Every structure is written in C-alpha cells, then in structure tokens.
C-alpha cells in the first residue's frame, strides 16, 4: 500500500523527506538517471559516435506515468525522424554553402515554432524536436554534403537507444494513469451545475459555490487536467472527448441560467418599457419540483467517489435515467400548455443526454479497458482554442533570431557560433510554448550552470584517471545518479532537467581526452550561452508571460464580435439560401466555451484582480453574438415591403457597421457610445419580435459596457 493510501512511510521515505527530497519523485528520478546511464553505455557499446545523445534522449522521454512515457517516446522518435530528413535534404541542397544552411534553418525553425504553438499535449514537443533535431545535424556536420549520412544515422540510433532504455527501465515501475482523479473532478463540476439548476427550478437561492464565477472556475480546473490526459491511450482519448463535450453543454446550461437571471433583472428595472415587457411576459411556470428532485438525486450520485458507484443504492446510471425522464415530462408539460420550451430546459436536456455518453466512456476508462472499440456518440472533435497570435510571434522570434546568428555563423565560419546557435535553437523552440518562457529561462540557466559545473568536475578530476573509454563511461555513473538526486530535491527541482541535459551534452566519452581544461570550459560556456541569450530574446522580442497570453486571448475573444458583424455585413441583404448552418453556430459556441475556460484558468493562476469580470465577459460575448445571429435570421426571413421594415433594415446595417468600428476603437471611446445608440434605436423598432428586441436591448444595457470594461482592465 502506498503512502497516498494511508500506509506508514518507511524509514527511507522519512529520511528523504527530512533531507528536502520530494519522496514521490525520488524513485522516478533515480530510475530515470539509471536509464540515462544504460542508454549511454549501450550507445557506446554499439559504436555510436555521440553516445551522450542517447542519455539525453532517455531523460527527455521519461515520464512518471506509463501512458505518457509511451506517448512522449513516440513523439520524440517521430520528431527526430522529420527533423533529420529535413536536415539531410537541406545539406544536400546547400552543397556546403553556409548561407543556404543559415536561411534554411531559420525558416525551418520558424515553421516548427509556429506549428508547435498551435498544438496540444506532446504533439507540441514533437514539432519542437523536429526543429532542433535538424539544427543538430546541420550545425554539427563538417565536410562535404555527402558525408552527412553517418551523422544523421547516428542521431536516429541515439534517439532510438535513449527512448528504448527509458521504456525498458521505467515501464515496469511507472504506474498507470489514474482515471479516477479526472473523472471525480469532472463529475463534481457537473454536480455543481446541476445543483444550481435545481435551485433555479425551485426558485430558491443557489447553494454555496453555485454562482457563475465559481462554476466556471471548477470547470476550468477540469479543462486543465484534460491537457495531457488523452496521451498514450485510445480509451483516454475517448474519455477526454466525452468530457470536453460535457463541459460544452454544461457551459450552455450555465449561460442560459445566467441569461435568464439577467433578463429578469432587466425586465424588473425597465420601468419605461412596459409595452415591451407586456409582450415578453410569460405565463405562470409549470411545476418543476419533480425535475428538481431528480436533479438533486443525480447530484448526490455524482458526488460519490467513482470507484464506489457500484455500491450505491441509487447508482449514477439510475439517477441519470430518472433525471432524463423527469426532464422529458417537464418539457411535455410545457408543450401541453401550447408554450415554447425554455432554452434552459433544452440545454439541460442536451447535457443529460451527453452525460450518458460520458458515463460510458468513464466506465471503460475506470475499468482499464484500453482495447475497447466503443466510441462516443459525439464523434465530432470539439473545436479547441489555438493561439494563432502566440504562434505567429513565436515563429518570428525563433526564425528571426536564428537568422541573425546564422548570418554571423556564415560570415565568420566559427564552430563556436554554430554550437551556441544549437543551444539557442533548443531554447527558442522547446520553451516558446511555455506560459512564461522568459521566467523559465532563469531556472534553465541555473540548471545548465550546475550541469556544466558537474561536467567540468568530471572532466578535470575524474576522467584523467581513466585508462580506457569504457572506464570513462563507468565514471559517469555517479554523476548520472547525482543528477537524479538533484532532480528530486526541492531546492534544485526547478531546472533540474537542464542539469542533466547540460551535463550529458558535455560528457562525451572520447579516449584519450586530449582537450585542455580551457577547451572544456569554453564548450561549457557555449552551452550555457543558449539560455542566457534566449532570456534576452524572450525579454525583448515579443515578451511573453501568462498575463500577456491571457490578455491576448481576451482580445481574440472580444474581437470575434466585430468580426462576426463584419461577416454579416458582407452578406448585404441576406437571402434565404445563405442561412448560417447549425454546425457553424455550434462551432463558434464550442470554441468560445473552450477559450473562456482557458481564460478563467489563467486568471486563477495569475490571481488577476479583475478576474471577477471574466464570467460576465463570457456571458456578454455569447449573448451578443447570439443576438446578432438572431437578427440576421430575422432579416433573412423578412420581406421589407413596408417603410417601417425598410427603416429597421437600415438601422440594422448601421448597428452592425458601428459594431465593426467599435472593435477597432479604444475602450470607452466615442465609437462605443455610437454603437450603443445604434443598437438602442434598433431595439425600439415595433416591427421586431419582442424576444429579439429584448436581446438587442441587452447589447445596449449589458454587453457593450461589460466588454468595454474588460478591454479596459486587460489593456
């Protein structure tokens, strides 16, 4: 039994904790260090030219969970293959022209940085590895173009050796991914949404944790867990996909709950719009008590630990079936009164239906059925957020910097510049997708300084005693284990991966070691110059951190409103054949929901003081775009045969035009007042349906002011 399960820690665990080690990480770090040494030994034994690359590959591909270990190893191998193939092609085309090599590497690095920043999970690592694998072959190759093949094959075999060593050593010890953690947190978030829905159905105040901001924060935590969860398992991918769709439908329900609450407040405060309020006034609501009770029972079932569901008197499946039946009965009761089904009921019903697929995926995952052929009903992938702005900036940063250093390399033909350029390419590619790469560089630089110091210690004091290359390899073992200990210690954990990378890149066992201490020192300085230069680049060229990424994402979300207004204007007088498809509408809604969750998660991590405005921002973005689409649908279905209808059409065009201008202006500018005035004039037209007029009035009173406030706060 593990410590997490309640066992008493052993003496070595207590001793390790007293010495400052992360005890759960210590075993992983030591076996990874052993795998790195095994890879070094095997690579040397089979005669590879750069056996230390195998040790670096073992460290880079090792992961604490079995599925992630396999997935990262596959991406490391695939990225290396792509990078080496490009390097061979570039060397053969260049025919020893350093200028062609410099420009080719800069373009390839920019492309890999761009594509990598658009990906998720370990695909990011694969794209970045393709970039600097090409740099390794090109920058370390000497001689005619035809002689590149041995170096390319050496790179491939060292990668395969390192990945295989990591798999063989760590596979038996690495635990499987624990599905129960994600599933329990996802069900808890869904339970909070359903609990808030039941309270609204009973017209009672929501329980603690049921307000919009807290619900979003809990779902954002689930979204954070989904980042790497699908790696290495088809069943995990199915579970991740199902939970993504559950999150989407849960946010739809939360949106309609919040919109209904705000609409009631607007109606209560709009004393001068009695006629409009009379038109939208609803009949007495049917009794929702049975549905609320069924939802409360489903909440109780979801809040039970997933591994104990089979022992519950009322299992989650039975509770879900009862909730779906109660929802169908409530909808039938509404329709029997010749009334329109409220959007809240529709959103609730679709969420409950999606939960049926989610429960099936979760059960297969909990029971470890990794070979199941079952697929979620929602086979369409959820449109996830892609950071196009960050990808473009990363491409310009990496490509431009490599181009400048490549020109210096081609001009001077200095090998030390090529070696420094190699380290810089790694830093500019691998860490460009981090939330705060500039801050990360400080830890990387510290780690590489420690690793370079250990390597110099081995080269100056230990290797001179070696009588053969075999002894040199064995003399690396204590330093490899020391790197594992530094990886697990609390004081050196940040940047510890780079301790081992820098140490192994400098410890190339060549007997006899004819290099002087000065030469070893110059190589060490060239290695650590990579993160130092990268820190300068990250600081001055598109400086990026978590707060800046959050601001960029918020601006992208807000700009979707004027962009939609521009698209609607381009349709001119819309025809019936130009209706926006349901798939397109669902696409932007789902992408908005995913972006909102990422924005909330970043705000929680950075403790943004204005993060309380983000839920209102999401509500306003969803409501404003929905209102514009509803307006466009009314324009499609209307023949403007009367002066009043033609006037309304002209006002609609003016409102869309001023919305486009509002998106280009500064927050709080005169363009904001003009946009609000245009939408207010349109909302007062008597020919509009009452519900649509109320939606347009919400743009004036709620949406534009909230979005202006967010733009001002995040500027």
Q: Is residue 9 very low, low, confident or very high in pLDDT (cuts 50, 70, 90)?
A: low
The set of long-range contacts for 329-336, using a CB threshold of 8 Å and a minimum separation of 24, is: 329/290, 329/291, 330/286, 330/288, 330/290, 330/291, 333/286, 333/287, 334/286
Q: pLDDT (tens digit, 9 = 90+) per residue, 188-235?
A: 999 999 998 888 888 777 776 667 778 888 888 898 888 888 887 788
Q: Is residue 313 very low, low, confident or very high in pLDDT (cuts 50, 70, 90)?
A: very low
Percentage of the chain modeled with pLDDT above 90: 17
User: What pLDDT score was predicted for residue 72?
Assistant: 87
Dump the DSSP string for 270-283. -TT-HHHHHHHPPP
User: What pLDDT score was predicted for residue 518?
Assistant: 84
C-beta separation of 620 from 708 below 8 A: no
Quote the CA–CA distance of 148 and 156 in Å, as a whole number.
13
Cα radius of gyration (the chain): 30
Q: pLDDT (tens digit, 9 = 90+) per residue, 490-505?
A: 888 888 888 888 898 8
Residue with tokens 């060239």: 526
Residue 418 pLDDT greater than 90, yes or no: no
User: What pLDDT score was predicted for residue 230?
Assistant: 84
For residue 700, give the 3-state DSSP assignment.
helix
81-88: average pLDDT: 92
C-beta separation of 231 from 122 below 8 A: yes
- Domains of the chain by residue range: 18-176+385-540, 179-280+287-366, 546-713
Dump the DSSP string for 486-554. HHHBTTT-TTHHHHHHHHHHH----SS----HHHHHHHHHHHHHHHHHHHHHHHHSS---HHHHHHHHH
Quote the CA–CA distance of 73 and 76 in Å, as a whole number.
5
C-beta separation of 139 from 421 below 8 A: yes
C-beta separation of 189 from 81 below 8 A: no
Quote the CA–CA distance of 256 and 259 in Å, as a whole number.
5
Quote the CA–CA distance of 574 and 579 in Å, as a whole number.
8
Residue 257 pLDDT greater than 50, yes or no: yes
Least confident of 16-25, 173-182, 367-376, 663-672: 367-376
Tokens representing 381 are: 């992938």
User: Which of left, alpha, beta for 245 (phi over 0: left; psi -120 to 50: alpha)?
Assistant: alpha
Q: pLDDT (tens digit, 9 = 90+) per residue, 626-682?
A: 899 889 888 888 888 888 999 999 999 999 999 999 988 877 678 888 999 999 999
> Is the dihedral angle over the CA atoms 102, 104, 106, 108 positive or is it negative?
negative
Mean pLDDT, the chain, integer:
82
Length of the chain: 715
For residue 11, give the 3-state DSSP assignment.
helix
Dihedral angle over CA of 265, 270, 276, 278, nearest 10: 70
Nearest Cα to Cα of residue 445 among 497, 484, 376: 497
Angle of CA points 95, 96, 102, to nearest 5°: 105
Most confident of 36-40, 174-178, 305-309, 356-360: 36-40
C-beta separation of 161 from 53 below 8 A: no
Q: pLDDT (tens digit, 9 = 90+) per residue, 523-580?
A: 888 888 888 889 999 989 888 888 888 888 888 888 888 988 988 888 755 444 444 4
Instruction: For helices 212-225 and 234-269, give the axis angle rounded to 10 degrees.
Output: 170
Dihedral angle over CA of 419, 422, 427, 433, nearest 10: 180
C-beta separation of 23 from 17 below 8 A: yes
C-beta separation of 191 from 352 below 8 A: no
Quote the CA–CA distance of 530 and 419 in Å, as a whole number.
9
Residue 690 pLDDT greater than 90, yes or no: no
Quote the CA–CA distance of 63 and 176 in Å, as a whole number.
11
Q: Is residue 306 very low, low, confident or very high in pLDDT (cuts 50, 70, 90)?
A: low
Quote the CA–CA distance of 189 and 184 in Å, as a whole number.
9
Residue 584 pLDDT greater than 60, yes or no: no
User: What pLDDT score was predicted for residue 13?
Assistant: 65
Nearest Cα to Cα of residue 477 among 44, 77, 61, 50: 44
Q: pLDDT (tens digit, 9 = 90+) per residue, 346-368?
A: 889 999 998 988 888 888 887 76
Q: What ranges make up the beta strands (E) of 415-499?
A: none
């Amino acid at each position: 039994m593990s410590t997490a399960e309640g066992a008493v820690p052993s003496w070595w665990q207590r001793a390790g904790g007293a010495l400052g080690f992360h005890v759960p990480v210590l075993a992983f770090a030591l076996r990874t260090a052993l795998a790195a040494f095994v890879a070094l030994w095997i690579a040397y034994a089979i005669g590879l030219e750069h056996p230390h690359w195998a040790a670096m590959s073992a460290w880079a591909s090792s992961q604490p969970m079995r599925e992630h270990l396999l997935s990262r190893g596959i991406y490391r191998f695939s990225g290396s293959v792509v990078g080496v193939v490009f390097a061979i092609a570039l060397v053969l085309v260049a025919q020893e022209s350093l200028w062609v090599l410099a420009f080719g590497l800069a373009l390839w690095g920019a492309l890999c940085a761009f594509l990598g920043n658009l990906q998720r999970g370990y695909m990011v690592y694969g794209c970045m590895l393709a970039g600097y694998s090409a740099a390794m072959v090109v920058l370390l190759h000497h001689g005619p173009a035809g002689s590149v093949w041995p170096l390319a094959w050496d790179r491939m075999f060292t990668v395969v050796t390192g990945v295989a060593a990591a798999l063989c050593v760590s596979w038996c010890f690495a635990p499987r991914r624990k599905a129960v953690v994600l599933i329990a947190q996802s069900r808890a978030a869904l339970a909070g949404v359903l609990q808030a829905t039941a309270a609204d159905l009973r017209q009672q105040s929501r329980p603690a944790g049921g307000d919009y901001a807290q619900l979003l924060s809990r779902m954002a935590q689930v979204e954070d867990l989904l980042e790497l969860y699908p790696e290495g398992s088809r069943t995990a991918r199915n579970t991740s996909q199902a939970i993504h769709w559950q999150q989407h439908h849960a946010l739809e329900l939360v949106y309609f709950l919040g919109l209904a609450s705000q609409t009631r407040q607007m109606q209560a405060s709009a004393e001068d719009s009695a006629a409009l309020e009379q038109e939208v006034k609803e009949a007495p609501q049917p009794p929702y008590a049975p549905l609320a009770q069924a939802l409360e029972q489903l909440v109780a079932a979801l809040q039970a630990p997933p591994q104990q569901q089979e022992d519950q008197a009322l299992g989650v499946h039975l509770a879900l079936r009862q909730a779906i039946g109660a929802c169908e009965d409530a909808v039938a009761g509404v329709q029997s009164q010749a009334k329109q089904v409220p959007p809240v009921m529709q959103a609730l019903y679709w969420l409950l239906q999606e939960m049926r697929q989610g429960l099936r995926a979760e059960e297969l995952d909990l029971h470890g059925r990794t070979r199941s052929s079952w697929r979620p009903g929602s086979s369409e992938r959820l449109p996830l957020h892609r950071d196009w702005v960050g990808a473009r900036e990363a491409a310009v940063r990496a490509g431009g910097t490599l181009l400048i250093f490549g020109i210096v390399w081609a001009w001077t033909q200095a090998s030390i510049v090529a070696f420094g350029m190699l380290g810089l390419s790694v830093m500019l590619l691998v860490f460009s997708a981090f939330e705060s790469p500039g801050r990360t560089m400080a830890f990387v630089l510290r780690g590489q300084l420690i690793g370079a110091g250990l390597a110099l210690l081995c080269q100056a004091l230990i290797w001179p005693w070696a009588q053969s290359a075999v002894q040199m390899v064995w003399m690396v073992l204590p330093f490899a284990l020391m790197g594992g200990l530094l990886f697990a210690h609390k004081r050196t954990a940040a940047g510890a991966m780079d301790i081992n990378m820098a140490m192994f890149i400098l410890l190339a066992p060549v007997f006899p070691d004819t290099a002087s201490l000065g030469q070893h020192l110059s190589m060490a300085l060239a290695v650590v110059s990579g993160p130092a230069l990268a820190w300068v680049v990250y600081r001055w060229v598109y400086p990026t951190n978590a707060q800046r990424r959050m601001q960029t994402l918020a601006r992208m979300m807000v700009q979707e409103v004027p962009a939609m207004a521009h698209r609607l204007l381009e349709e001119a007088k819309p025809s019936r054949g130009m209706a926006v498809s349901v798939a397109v509408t669902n696409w932007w809604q789902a992408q908005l929901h995913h972006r909102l969750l990422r924005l909330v998660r970043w705000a929680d991590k950075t403790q943004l003081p204005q993060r309380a405005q983000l839920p209102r921002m999401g509500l306003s973005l969803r409501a404003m775009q929905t209102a514009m689409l509803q307006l466009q649908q009314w324009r499609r279905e209307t023949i403007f045969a009367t002066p009043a209808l033609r006037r309304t059409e002209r006002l609609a065009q003016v409102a869309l035009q001023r919305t486009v201008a509002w998106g280009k202006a500064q927050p709080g500018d005169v363009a904001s007042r003009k946009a609000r005035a245009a939408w207010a004039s349109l909302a007062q037209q008597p020919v509009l349906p009452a519900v649509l007029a109320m939606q347009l009035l919400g743009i004036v009173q709620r949406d534009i002011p909230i979005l202006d406030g967010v733009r001002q706060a995040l500027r």
